[in-house]
Amino acid sequence: MTSRSNSLPLIGELMPEIAAATTVGPINLREHYQGKWILLFSHPADFTPVCTTEFVAFARKSYEFKNLNCELIALSIDQVFSHIKWVEWIKQNIGVDIEFPIIADELGEIAQSLGMIHYVKATNTVRAVFIIGPDYKLRLMMYYPQEIGRQVDEILRALKALQIAEQYSVSMPENWPNNELIGDKVILPPPNNIEEARERIKNTEGYDWWFTYKDLK
C-alpha cells in the first residue's frame, strides 16, 4: 500500500519522497539511505535551549544509531546558514560535533506534508519523530510539544524493539527489555486455531494461551 494523496502517511505506508537542502548538501532520503533505517526528527528552531539539549543528546548517541544501521537526519524551517552557525556554536560552546545532516525546509513544505506544523501552538515545527524502515515505510511516529524535550534513550529503545519485532515476528512488552511482568522476554503472536491454543500453554511459558512469551537467547 502506498501513501494516500493529501494525507499524512500512516504506519506501514510508504513515506513521501523527501528531497531537500541540508547542511551536507542536497539529499533525497530514499536514494541516499537505501537499505538503512532512517530516524527523521524535527525541531522548532535553531538557537533554542531545548533543541540544543536534544541535538547534543542525539549526537552523543549517534554511534548507537549507526550500530543499528540507522541514520539520523534533522529538520526545521530555518535556513541552511542558520543550521551551520548553530552547529558551530554547539561545537564551540559545548564541545559536541553535530555530524548528522539538518534539512533546511525554508518553505515548510516537508513539515506540512508530515504534520509537523501545529498552528494552535505556533507556525514552526513541533518535535516530531519518524522511524522509517529500509523499505522506506513508516514504522513509528511520535509528536512532542515544543516545551518538552525528547528522551533519546526511549527513541533508541523503540528502534531496537522494532528491529527485533520484525526479525523474530514477536511483540515487545511495556518498557522492554525491563518489563515488570516478563523482564526482557518477548511476546509470541497469538495462536491461529483451537488446537494450537491448547498446545501453546502446555509447551510455552506464559499466563494463558493468548499471553505467552520466550527468551530471545
Helix, strand or coil, per DSSP, at residue 162: helix
Q: Which helix (H) or strand (E) holds 54?
A: helix 49-60
Please tell me which residue in 15, 18, 51, 114 is annotated as part of the active site: 51
Q: Which amino acid is at 193?
A: N
Active site residue 70: no
Q: How far is CA 158 from CA 24, 57, 116, 180, in A?
A: 27, 16, 20, 17
Structural contact between residues 141 and 11, judged by C-beta atoms closer than 8 angstroms: yes
**Cα-Cα-Cα-Cα dihedral sign, residues 155, 144, 114, 60:** negative
User: Catalytic amino acids?
Assistant: 51
